[in-house]
Amino acid sequence: MPAKKYLVTLTTEERQELMTLTSSGELSVRKMKRALILLKANEGWKDMEVVAALNTSRPTVERIRKRYVEGGLDKALNDDPRPGARKKLDGRA
């Protein structure tokens, strides 16, 4: 199997922030799963081990690793804004 293109190497501050987030209990399920994926990847877990432990898919694990490497912790944990429909009312209405 080829070497991974996107390796997760968390700084001490990032790891501490993720540990705090996951232990707080006030996190959405999506964000919690992303934080756990990053923590496991940082510990050297293989993708299939993370998939089995967190009941997710391999593409999800790969995507979160890629988002972290390319955009940092905030991009990996949060969704990008979606365009959506234009607002029907302006600020005056």
- pLDDT of 17-35, one tens digit each? 999 999 987 889 999 999 9
The answer, yes or no, to whether residue 1 has pLDDT greater than 60, is no
Model confidence, pTM? 0.84
Contact 22, 32 (CB under 8 A): yes
pLDDT digits (tens, 9 = 90+) for 34-43: 999 999 999 9
Find the radius of gyration of the CA atoms of the chain: 16
